[in-house]
Amino acid sequence: MRQHRLLSDLTAIEQQLQQLAQGPNLFTAEQASGTWSPAVDIYETPISFVLTAEVPGIKSSEVDVKVVDGTLILRGERRWEHEVKGEHFHRLESSYGKFERTFSLSERIDVDQITAELERGVLKLVLPKKERASTAKQIKVETE
């Protein structure tokens, strides 16, 4: 198990270096210290933003999704469930343990309409855009 922890720590460092190299993106993302972090993709449609997170082997009851003060929080845990008696792993690339990802949301997102679903190891969040109020206003010109 000590070797598993070392691999998890190395994986976490590698992911942090990759995020530094990628630079800023549309959403401000922060990664809490944990043993692993699910990969996340964010794309935009005409009516919403869609966030997908790779969470293989995790049940919907093991994922917590919430918005607090304009911050989207994804939290969960991928548990090690293998009984290893008399077996020796030669390679262990899967990550296990708790994770937390946070994203500062744009004011354009309608927080009350966010939906989430988990299918085949991918958590999909749909973040609908707020309808924009018309900013055009007709001004009547008065005569003297």
- For the beta carbon of residue 83, count every other beta carbon within 10 angstroms: 6
Please give the pLDDT value at position 115: 96
Domain-located, residue 142: no
In-domain check, residue 44? yes
In a domain, 143, yes or no: no
What's residue 75's pLDDT? 93
User: Quick check: is 139 in a domain?
Assistant: no
In a domain, 87, yes or no: yes
Structural domain range at position 115: 2-128
Residue 13 has pLDDT above 90, yes or no: no
Domain CATH code at residue 68: 2.60.40.790
121 inside domain = yes
d(Cα 144, Cα 140) in Å, to the nearest integer? 13
Distances (CA, A) of 24 to 12, 78, 82, 125: 19, 27, 37, 21
How many domains does the structure of the chain reveal? 1
Please give the pLDDT value at position 124: 97
Can you read off the two tokens belonging to residue 92? Answer: 């262990």
- Is 11 within a domain? yes
- Tokens, residue 67: 């918005």
pTM: 0.66
pLDDT, greater one: 81 or 63? 63
Q: What pLDDT, in 10s, does the model give residues 87-118?
A: 777 777 777 788 999 999 988 899 999 999 99
Three-state secondary structure readout of 72-113: EEEEEEECCCCCCCCCCCCCCCCCCEEEEEEEECCCCECHHH
**Residue 137 reports pLDDT greater than 60:** yes
For residue 144, tell me if it sits in a domain.
no
